[in-house]
A = this chain, B = another copy of it.
């Protein structure tokens, strides 16, 4: 089975590379920052600097979306912001459900950064009966058993796993069974899902372990040459 890239309404095939998709939210944030500074037009150099990327890469990325700049002038901040927002689906809010309201799940439910990026924590779910019924960040925690009803009622397509690693696979299975088709997994475990379901994994330990590796090298025996 092969899934084709989505064709446009005008028939042109448009496949945006994964690497580019991952940077579009960064550009969006940079554009928001520029708007707050009262900047209404910017060059690819300006925007690239704000986003922390190479200007050529930025222009290449934007070229996948269309031709939204003006040669000799630059980009209209507000116009480009809207185009990117539309492309990544941020003209609407996305309801998500968080499974597991331990320390991490609670912190995520209170995270300020979501709402401004079109993410709304719509429901909290936990397997522990002692936690069910409590209120966290203004949301009443529901039972894991109620997941299918919650997902259907609120048309939720994105779930967040914030449980211990041992529970991750079962939670993933239940999320998929309930109808969720995208999962963000914070648990330190690999989860298997059927085709058609996207999983992204954030592993807090691994990020630190990568830093530790480089630290070890620095402390050990790096050599610096040149001027």
| Chain A interface residues toward B at CB < 8 A | 1-4, 6-7, 21-22, 24-26, 28-29, 50-52, 87-90, 94, 96, 103-104, 106-108, 110-114, 117-119, 157-158, 160, 164-165, 181-184, 188, 190, 196, 198, 200, 202-227
Question: Which of A3, A111, A113, A119 has most B Cβ within 10 Å?
Answer: A113
With both chains docked as a complex, state the minimum distance between the C-beta of A148 and any C-beta of chain B, in angstroms.
Answer: 18
Are A213 and B94 in touch, CB under 8 angstroms?
no
Identical copies in the complex: 2
Are B94 and A215 in touch, CB under 8 angstroms?
yes
Residues of B contacting A165 in the complex (Cβ-Cβ under 8 angstroms): 113
Are B89 and A223 in touch, CB under 8 angstroms?
no
Are A219 and B110 in touch, CB under 8 angstroms?
no
The residue from B164, B208, B223 contacting A119, defined by CB atoms under 8 A apart: B208
Residue contacts A-B, CB under 8 angstroms, 19 given: A1-B226, A3-B224, A6-B221, A6-B223, A25-B203, A25-B205, A26-B206, A88-B209, A89-B215, A94-B215, A103-B106, A103-B110, A114-B204, A114-B205, A117-B205, A117-B209, A157-B218, A182-B215, A200-B210
Are B216 and A89 in touch, CB under 8 angstroms?
yes
With both chains docked as a complex, state the minimum distance between the C-beta of A90 and any C-beta of chain B, in angstroms.
Answer: 7
